[in-house]
Amino acid sequence: MDYYPVMMNIKDKKCLVVGGGNVALRKISSLLKCGAKVTVISQAFKKEIYMLYNEGKIDLIERCYFDDDVKEYNIVIVATDDRKTNKRVASDCQKYNIPVNVVDDKGLSTFIVPSVVAKGDITISISTNGKSPLLTRMIREKLEKQFTEEYELLLKELEKMRNRLKESDLAEEDKIKTYREIIDKSGLFQ
Ligand SMILES: C[C@@]1(CC(=O)O)c2cc3[nH]c(cc4nc(cc5[nH]c(cc(n2)[C@H]1CCC(=O)O)[C@@](C)(CC(=O)O)[C@@H]5CCC(=O)O)C(CC(=O)O)=C4CCC(=O)O)c(CCC(=O)O)c3CC(=O)O
Ligand SMILES: NC(=O)C1=CN([C@@H]2O[C@H](COP(=O)(O)OP(=O)(O)OC[C@H]3O[C@@H](n4cnc5c(N)ncnc54)[C@H](O)[C@@H]3O)[C@@H](O)[C@H]2O)C=CC1
């Protein structure tokens, strides 16, 4: 199965995570990094999840999932260790047309989550279409070493130039030539 990769703006969107274990924690952390409003439903939570609650970063609902709990949310991630619950949440999401990531079943998911290398405004997403998350992680670790802060600085320079040239009547090919010169000067692509 092929996926359509997108960059979704989830700032201030209401995201529900069902489950309070290790995988839930990883998903909560990545949602928070993108500015989402996160609520977690689970009958038990990992200590780190309680800590996020105590810091005022997330809302917690301490009980099992109830039918239709998903109703008010824009995005749902279901990360319990109970397949039946995961299925139930997925089918509720389908009922209300809510995008859902089911961590133990990509067939029930409307989206899967890639691994991400983020250096300033450079984002590299990695996926194996769900075939080997471990390989995904290892590719991320490899790329993280390769993409140093110099790339962030280069991007800043290019952005500045691009904003300056946007309004100019320079031909498109001359604009690209200017960008290329900046990139060549960085020495990062030799
Ligand atoms: C389909 C997908 C659905 C989704 O979660 O979106 C999915 C599914 C499953 N993962 C499983 C296992 C592991 N997942 C990881 C790690 C990550 N998994 C992530 C994403 C995805 N995992 C989506 C596809 C991504 C892709 O396309 O490659 C990452 C990238 C992002 C994130 O989770 O935020 C994050 C890396 C973060 C980083 O960069 O470090 C590790 C390694 C580790 O934990 O270190 C292991 C153990 C090793 C192994 O199995 O490979 C299992 C079996 C569970 C079991 O056996 O019980 C399933 C279920 C199944 O395969 O059916
Ligand atoms: N997608 C991914 O990246 C990965 C997925 N997995 C899968 O993710 C699932 C969860 O793994 P972990 O977080 O390690 O498990 P865990 O045991 O640490 O956490 C499970 C959580 O689900 C909660 N839970 C159970 N039933 C519930 C219900 N009815 N309503 C609400 N919450 C409920 C529990 O209280 C617990 O907090 C497993 O099925 C595993 O196969 C595992 C590794 C990686």
Break the chain down into helix, strand, coil percent, rounded to 5. Answer: 45, 15, 35
Domain shared by 165 and 132, yes or no: no
First to last CA, the chain: 36
Contacts of 104 (CB under 8 A, 6+ apart): 83, 86
- The number of the ligand nearest the C-alpha atom of 86 reads 2
- The number of the ligand nearest the C-alpha atom of 137 reads 1
Domain shared by 38 and 88, yes or no: yes
- The number of the ligand nearest the C-alpha atom of 60 reads 2
The CATH number of the domain where 142 resides is what?
A: 3.30.160
109: left (phi over 0), alpha (psi -120 to 50) or beta: beta
* Distance in angstroms (rounded) separating the CA atoms of residues 20 and 53: 12
Mean pLDDT of all residues in the chain?
A: 97
Domain shared by 106 and 136, yes or no: no
Contacts of 26 (CB under 8 A, 6+ apart): none
Are the C-beta atoms of residues 137 and 115 closer than 8 Å to each other?
yes
CA of 133 to the centre of ligand 1 (A): 4
Chosen domain end from 68, 87, 113 = 113
- Hey, whose CA ends up nearest to atom 2 of ligand 1? 130
For residue 12, give its domain range. Answer: 1-113
- Hey, whose CA ends up nearest to atom 5 of ligand 2? 103
Closest alpha carbon to 130 in 165, 161, 106, 155: 106
Domain shared by 45 and 56, yes or no: yes
pLDDT per residue over 139-163, tens digit each?
A: 999 999 999 999 999 999 999 999 9
| Closest ligand 1 atom to 116 CA | 39
CA of 125 to the centre of ligand 1 (A): 14
Domain shared by 93 and 125, yes or no: no
Domain shared by 140 and 69, yes or no: no
Domain shared by 136 and 173, yes or no: no
State whether residue 77 is helix, strand or coil. Answer: strand
132 Cβ inside 6 Å of ligand 1: yes
- Hey, whose CA ends up nearest to atom 43 of ligand 2? 23
- Summarize the confidence of residues 16-37 as an average pLDDT: 98
| Closest ligand 1 atom to 27 CA | 34
* Distance in angstroms (rounded) separating the CA atoms of residues 98 and 174: 45
Kindly tell me if the per-residue pLDDT of 4 is higher than 80: yes
CA of 134 to the centre of ligand 1 (A): 7
C-alpha separations of 170 from 3, 6, 181 in Å: 38, 31, 15
Domain shared by 34 and 109, yes or no: yes
Label residue 1 by pLDDT band (50, 70, 90). Answer: low
CA of 119 to the centre of ligand 1 (A): 22
The CATH number of the domain where 38 resides is what?
A: 3.40.50.720
Contacts of 187 (CB under 8 A, 6+ apart): none
pLDDT of residue 31: 98
| Closest ligand 1 atom to 104 CA | 59
Domain shared by 141 and 174, yes or no: no
C-alpha separations of 189 from 161, 182, 184 in Å: 19, 11, 7
Q: How many domains does the chain have?
A: 3
Domain shared by 177 and 137, yes or no: no
CB under 8 A, 24+ apart: contacts of 38-43: 39/14, 39/15, 39/73, 40/16, 41/16, 41/17, 41/65, 41/69, 42/18, 42/80
pLDDT per residue over 44-101, tens digit each?
A: 999 999 999 999 999 999 999 999 999 999 999 999 999 999 999 999 999 999 999 9
Mutate to test the pocket of ligand 1, among 113, 123, 127 (most ligand atoms within 8 A of CB): 113
- Summarize the confidence of residues 180-190 as an average pLDDT: 97
